[in-house]
Amino acid sequence: MMSNFIPPENSVVFASDTPSGEKIVLSINLSSVKNINPLWKRTHYRASINWLTKYKTKSDASKLEKVRGYLEAFHHLCEIEEWMAAGTIFYMILDTPAKAELHNQLSLWGYYREVIELNKALLNKIDPSLDGSFLTEIGETYQKLGQYQQALEFFKQAREINKEVGDRSFEAHSLHNIGNVYFCLGQIQQAIQLYQQALEITQEIGDRTSEGHSLCALGNVYRSLGQIQEAIPLLEQALEIARESGDLSFEAISLVNLGAAYNSLGQYQQAVECHQQSLEIRREREDRWGEANSLGNLANAYRCLGQVQQAIELHQRRLEITREIGDRQGEADSLLDLGVAYLNLGEYQRAIQFNQQSLQLESMLGDRRGESMSVSNLADAYCYLGDYNQAIEFYQQGLEIAGEMGDRQGEATYLRELGLAYFNLGQIELAIQFYQQSLVVTQEIGDRNGEGIALGNLGNAYRFQGNHLKGIEHHQQSLTIFREIDNCLDEGKALGNLGNAYFSIGDYPQAINLLQESLGVMQELQNRQEEGYALIHLGKVYRALGDYDKAIAYNQQHLAIVQATQAELYQRLGDRTLALEYCDRALSIATELGIPLAKECQQLKEKLQGRISLNYDV
């Protein structure tokens, strides 16, 4: 940054107050404008002065129109090679909430074409020591536009220039920027190496702010790999440094990444709080790109809380902003997230439409990670529609992308999903082959959670084949892993799978014990769907034992959960009438049985009747 930019001592200056009160100091090499020759040059001088002193805008003018006087003056000065004067305008601090220099404020507003033009105009024109900064800002702007190869080219040029200067802080910044591009391109290991190199330099030179940025980047990449426990301490350190330095822009970035990590852990309310804080900061700074980013993350947190309609509204607002500012990457992300939201609502055709649009944009941008997510969502949608052959095509495509990216965890996931698709087609041997491949990959990369899931899938496949003892063996191994890593949700699922396996061999007492234990875990987690599964399977066991009263009781509890779930689904769809109808049915059954679900149903009923307001303020 160069907000204290001063023209050389040997130049004559022209000082002028602009209509908004800023002081512009222009470096002019002649004492009087009227003596400047030739005429065309004098015309440009006069034009620049007039744009600065006489240009006025209407109260409802766009943000770009409000700074048009500065931009026009800048371009006139460039025409006559008054680079110092143009530089003064470039670095002028505007009277905006962010108190940002002109070039930075344009970026916050999302006027990326103008930012690139300004930087390119001054490149190699003022001072060689500034060229690295110009190249870097051009690279950062291309990255925001999703033009990653152009971004990479300019970041590398900036790094080459700095090698002559030997500025270690700038070297760390360059490594960080190049790492960001590789991360966006899905080249995760290269990104990690660059971030770590940047972190080492910042720690050696004691640059706390840059250290925070590197910690934040590393935390974000580990989060994307599913290594949440490694990510959160890094992101918390980054947030602490951001607040120490008073850097609001960096604080907002840290909050977004920390919120995303909390979301991955299932701590959705904490995620909402982080994203709300980031949104407030970015709106206050009039940071349009950042506002869109925070809206998208906040929407994902609300979706995970079950407030899908609110999530869709936020994603739509993000989509509008990204299209307004030309952020193609943000547009692709918004389309993808809208697809996920409609997938959650069971509107599979709409989900397919949005994910097809996102996939097309991601392919154009070269965003391999985004492509992987879009094809995964498309495959899931076709699975829900029962079109497993179409789903398999997309899962295979995702597997290829994961292999090209070196994303071993993604590879394991796609192998597992392919196994599930073939399982649903009744091709059990093929399913087992894919499950086994997934298991090998998870063991090679040390993904204990993925290993447990693969073992559970194999257990179900072997049980379906009638190989019950082998199924029990794999479910037991799966259960052991989930207990070792404190994954309560999957522990509960593994208990249920094991209970069903013992039911298959006629060991009803052991089946009841395991299913009761699974039920207890799911009730503690308040996971109604999995609780329902445990109840219905307990009903099956007691029916097989001839204890019909207990079978009916468990089935009644399951029915109450189904009715309550229907109520919540209709609430998400905005159909309050049907939501109340199903809520009343669930409440009636739960009250008669005297189960805790009755209290939840009563609260839902009051919310639906408007006596409890939703906590939703953005």
- Stretch 382-388: mean pLDDT, rounded? 95
What DSSP assignment string belongs to 309-366?
HHHHHHHHHHHHHHHHHT-HHHHHHHHHHHHHHHHHTT-HHHHHHHHHHHHHHHHHHT
User: Any residues with CB less than 8 A from the CB of 435 and at least 6 apart, and which?
Assistant: 415, 416, 419, 454, 457, 458, 461
Note the pLDDT of residue 3.
39
Note the pLDDT of residue 30.
40
Note the pLDDT of residue 10.
36
Across 222-249, b (16+ Cβ under 10 Å) vs e yields: bbbbbbbeebbebbebbbebbeeeebbb
Give the amino acid at 142. Y
- CA atoms within a 13 Å half-sphere pointing along the CA-CB vector of 194: 23
pLDDT at 166 over 90: no
**How deeply is 488 buried, as exposed, middle or buried, from its count of CB atoms within 10 A (0-12, 13-18, 19+)?**
middle
Pick the CATH number of 12-222 from 1.25.40.10, 1.20.1250.20, 3.90.550.10, 3.40.50.12160: 1.25.40.10
DSSP bridge pairs for 12: 28
Q: Are 81 and 120 in contact (CB under 8 A)?
A: no
- Closest listed residue to residue 1, CA positions, set 116, 113, 102, 110: 102
Give the amino acid at 234. L
Where does the pLDDT of residue 294 fall: very low under 50, low under 70, confident under 90, or very high at 90 and above?
very high
- CA atoms within a 13 Å half-sphere pointing along the CA-CB vector of 305: 22
* Helical spans, DSSP H, in 385-447: 388-405, 408-424, 428-445
Q: Are 224 and 413 in contact (CB under 8 A)?
A: no
User: Any residues with CB less than 8 A from the CB of 564 and at least 6 apart, and which?
Assistant: 528, 582, 583, 586, 590, 597, 600, 601, 604
DSSP bridge pairs for 13: 27
Note the pLDDT of residue 163.
84
Q: CB atoms < 10 A from the CB of 475, how many? A: 28
Tens of pLDDT along 241-283? 999 999 999 999 999 999 999 888 878 889 999 999 999 999 9
Round to whole Å and give the CA distance between 338 and 118. Answer: 35
Q: Are 81 and 294 in contact (CB under 8 A)?
A: no
Q: Are 91 and 2 in contact (CB under 8 A)?
A: yes
Least confident range of 75-84, 112-121, 262-271, 289-298: 262-271
- Stretch 507-530: mean pLDDT, rounded? 90
- Closest listed residue to residue 111, CA positions, set 288, 285, 284: 288
Tens of pLDDT along 23-55? 445 544 444 566 677 888 889 988 888 898 888
pLDDT at 9 over 50: no
Mean pLDDT of the chain, nearest integer: 87
407 membership: H or E segment, kind and range: none
pLDDT at 13 over 70: no
Torsion over CA: 173, 174, 179, 185 (sign):
positive
> What percent of the chain shows pLDDT beyond 70?
93
* N-terminal to C-terminal alpha carbon distance within the chain: 33
Least confident range of 124-138, 347-361, 442-456: 442-456
3-class state of residue 19 by DSSP? coil
- Stretch 175-184: mean pLDDT, rounded? 91
Q: CB atoms < 10 A from the CB of 580, how many? A: 17
Residue predicted with more confidence, 367 or 14? 367
Note the pLDDT of residue 342.
95
> What percent of the chain shows pLDDT beyond 90?
56
Q: Are 584 and 576 in contact (CB under 8 A)?
A: no
Q: Are 155 and 139 in contact (CB under 8 A)?
A: yes
Round to whole Å and give the CA distance between 163 and 11. Answer: 31
What DSSP assignment string belongs to 488-522?
HHHHHHHHHHHHHHHHHTT-HHHHHHHHHHHHHHH
Domain residue spans in the chain? Answer: 12-222, 547-618
Round to whole Å and give the CA distance between 167 and 337. Answer: 40
Nearest-Å Rg of the Cα atoms of the chain is: 30
Tens of pLDDT along 535-584? 999 999 999 999 999 999 999 888 888 888 788 778 767 788 888 888 88
Residue predicted with more confidence, 73 or 24? 73
Across 107-116, b (16+ Cβ under 10 Å) vs e yields: bbbbbbebbb
- Stretch 312-316: mean pLDDT, rounded? 97
Note the pLDDT of residue 26.
54
Round to whole Å and give the CA distance between 257 and 44. Answer: 47
What is the pTM for the complete model shown?
0.66
Q: Does domain 547-618 have CATH number 1.20.58?
A: yes
Q: Are 176 and 359 in contact (CB under 8 A)?
A: no
